[in-house]
């Protein structure tokens, strides 16, 4: 009994187990997203080819338009008041912008794929290490009498489930943190675009792509990728342990960039500061912040619950030792 007490209270087995469980859950989430990413890459390619066909049929020169900055592209297609009100012109602009988005997201997806392949390749190694640690813990428990062994194992199982849940929450929270950062930078960049739709810009080069609005567009693409991955991880969280918290029911990625572009066109027609597009980004950021609050609250609850279980386990051992 002294041996078991010393092992459970002084050795680092539980801490090593916790760290390995967290690593294992992180790789599991990455593997799930990796599988979805492969499918999405194919879908992006198909949608890209579909849009190329539409643009070609409308006598569009993709290579020429690709060279334009975002503001230059707006002037090219919606430069005068009459063009701005033409639904066909607006739809054509949306197709061009969607094509640009798909092209960039394809590049980002391949980059992600390369990183994830290395992480996913470690799944078997970490799985074996985790199984070995669990086996070591079971062997240590075998040294106790059956009733105590059963009670401690039940507590360990509950603790492990909570550690797994918290690990998933932490992975999702890391994505949410980065997403809030990107969206905040987008808002800052949009605030730097003082005039949107001004004829005075016509004299400037249409191919200059270093303006704040172009940098905001790049963050839009990266934010879309993060949003998709975050929703994937939320789906895995729901499968692991469903929750009634509405903050977890996130379905923003499907229309995220489309809503932004529609509002950007509206802001252009109104000829002033970028307001509607910025509001759509701020609304998304607010929803992600609510999600972060939910993550923080549940993580805190999990820590408290694990502490209670650890106290119960320690008390069981001490009671047995005193008998």
| Region of poorest pLDDT, from 59-68, 242-251, 283-292 | 59-68
Q: If pLDDT is split at 50, 70 and 90, which confidence band does 59 have?
A: low
How much of the chain exceeds pLDDT 70, in percent? Answer: 87
Tens digit of pLDDT for each residue in 312-321? 988 887 776 6
What is the mean pLDDT of the segment spanning 83-89? 68
Choice between 220 and 202, residue whose per-residue pLDDT is larger? 220
pLDDT value for 317: 76
| Distance in angstroms (rounded) separating the CA atoms of residues 64 and 99 | 13
pLDDT value for 7: 46
| Region of poorest pLDDT, from 7-11, 92-96, 260-264 | 7-11
The SS3 call for residue 85 is: coil
Which residue range forms the structural domain that includes residue 317?
2-322
What is the mean pLDDT of the segment spanning 120-124? 96
Residue 60 pLDDT greater than 90, yes or no: no
Tens digit of pLDDT for each residue in 177-213? 999 999 999 999 999 876 677 554 444 555 555 689 9
Mean pLDDT estimate for the chain: 86
Residue 72 pLDDT greater than 50, yes or no: yes
Residue 223 pLDDT greater than 90, yes or no: yes
pLDDT value for 291: 94
pLDDT value for 10: 43
What is the mean pLDDT of the segment spanning 247-259? 87
Contacts 24+ apart (CB under 8 A), 194-201: 194/273, 195/271, 195/272, 195/273, 196/71, 196/264, 196/267, 196/268, 196/271, 196/272, 196/273, 196/274, 197/74, 197/267, 197/268, 197/269, 197/270, 197/271, 197/272, 198/271, 201/71, 201/75
Which alpha helices (DSSP H) does 85-122 contain, by range? 87-120
| Region of poorest pLDDT, from 60-64, 116-120, 316-320 | 60-64
As for how many domains the chain has, the answer is: 1
Q: Which residues pair with 272 in a beta bridge?
A: 196
- Kindly write down the DSSP assignment for every residue of 183-252, as one continuous string: HHHHHHHHHH---BS-GGGGGS-TT---SHHHHHHHHHHHHHHHHHHHHHHHHHHHHHS----GGG----
């Amino acid at each position: 009994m002294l041996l078991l007490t010393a092992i459970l209270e002084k050795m680092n087995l539980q801490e090593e187990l916790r760290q390995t469980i967290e690593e294992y859950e992180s790789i599991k989430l990455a593997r799930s997203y990796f599988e979805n990413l492969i499918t999405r890459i194919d879908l992006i390619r198909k949608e890209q080819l579909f849009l190329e066909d539409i643009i070609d049929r409308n006598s569009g020169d993709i290579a020429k338009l690709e060279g334009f900055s975002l503001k230059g592209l707006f002037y090219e297609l919606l430069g005068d008041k009459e063009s701005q009100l033409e639904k066909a012109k607006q739809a054509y602009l949306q197709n061009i912008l969607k094509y640009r988005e798909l092209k960039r997201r394809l590049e980002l997806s391949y980059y992600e794929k390369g990183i994830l392949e290395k992480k996913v390749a470690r799944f078997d190694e970490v799985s074996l290490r985790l199984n070995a640690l669990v086996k070591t813990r079971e062997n240590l428990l075998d040294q106790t009498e059956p009733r105590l062994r059963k009670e401690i194992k039940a507590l360990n199982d509950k603790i492990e489930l909570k550690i797994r849940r918290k690990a998933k929450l932490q992975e999702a929270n890391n994505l949410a943190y980065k997403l809030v950062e990107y969206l905040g930078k987008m808002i800052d960049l949009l605030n730097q675009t003082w005039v949107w739709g001004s004829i005075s810009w016509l004299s400037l080069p249409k191919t200059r792509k270093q303006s704040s609005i172009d940098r905001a567009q790049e963050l839009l693409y990266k934010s879309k990728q993060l949003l998709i991955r975050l929703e994937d991880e939320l789906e895995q969280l729901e499968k692991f342990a469903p929750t009634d918290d509405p903050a977890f029911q996130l379905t923003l990625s499907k229309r995220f960039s489309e809503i932004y572009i529609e509002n950007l066109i509206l802001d252009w027609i109104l000829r002033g500061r970028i307001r509607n597009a910025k509001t759509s980004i701020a609304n998304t950021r607010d929803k992600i912040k609510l999600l972060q609050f939910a993550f923080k609250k549940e993580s805190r609850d999990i820590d408290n619950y694990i502490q209670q279980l650890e106290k119960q386990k320690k008390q069981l051992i001490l009671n047995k030792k005193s008998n």
